[in-house]
Structure 1
Amino acid sequence: MEKTLGLHILADLYGVEFDKIDHVEDVRELLEGAVKYAGLSKLSSHFHQFYPHGATGVILLEESHISIHTWPEHGYAAIDVYTCGGKEKTFKAMEYILKVLKPKRIDEKVAERGTVPVHKEATHIEKIELETV
């Protein structure tokens, strides 16, 4: 028997409004909102404003990471959500991002990462005899 350690969603978002992805403050707010909405645990973050357009950012999570890189002049954002905190949290973070950015087209790849064997927990039951009193 095997289990998957993490779920990784890579999404290319097309047709995103320029103003939603041009400024680093908006990109930061987007990722911070996704982390909160999904119930993920932030460790640290780093964001950068490009000139004349675009921004990038990453939030390091206890569960892994979430990142964005934008080309507002093309209406394009590349999103990366990878968590080991349960599949539902990964999908919930992406759901939030899609609700906020409202892309016209989404190309999404979902990959299960880290397939490892599940070891049965050893159980030891010792038979003991009770004395009759």
Structure 2
Amino acid sequence: MEFKKGLGWKACYDEERNLYTAERGGPGAYNLYEITKEIYDQLEDGAREIDVYKLITEGRHLYMDVDDRCGPPYTVVFDHDYEKLCPWAKVISSGKVWPDELTDAAVEIFESEKNNREQRRKRRENSENS
């Protein structure tokens, strides 16, 4: 595995699976993403945090943990395979995990989660057919 790191972020290229992933964290938030090679290639240590954030969030959101003191902490699992996709990540979980129904609704409503719609819909369909 090949890694790139910067202030508040880390990205990984898994050459065996040809898979690019990234984590981004800071006070009150932790996120995992599946990213593209193009995004990975643009990530550089020393880049402005806002630029890195914008690049990483173009990827597919896999996991989110929020503990920002604006309410109780919570965790949203967008892709249940996040641990398989990011075995290198030091995942943070500080709160209650949202139920799949709530996560599905958020993915359908929020444009920022559109990259997860196909995956969530297939998962729902497979569980309904089982």
Same fold (TM over 0.5): no
TM-score normalised by the chain length of structure 2 = 0.29
Looking at both structures, which has the greater relative contact order when contacts are Cα pairs under 8 Å and sequence separation is at least 6?
A: 1
TM-score normalised by the chain length of structure 1 = 0.28
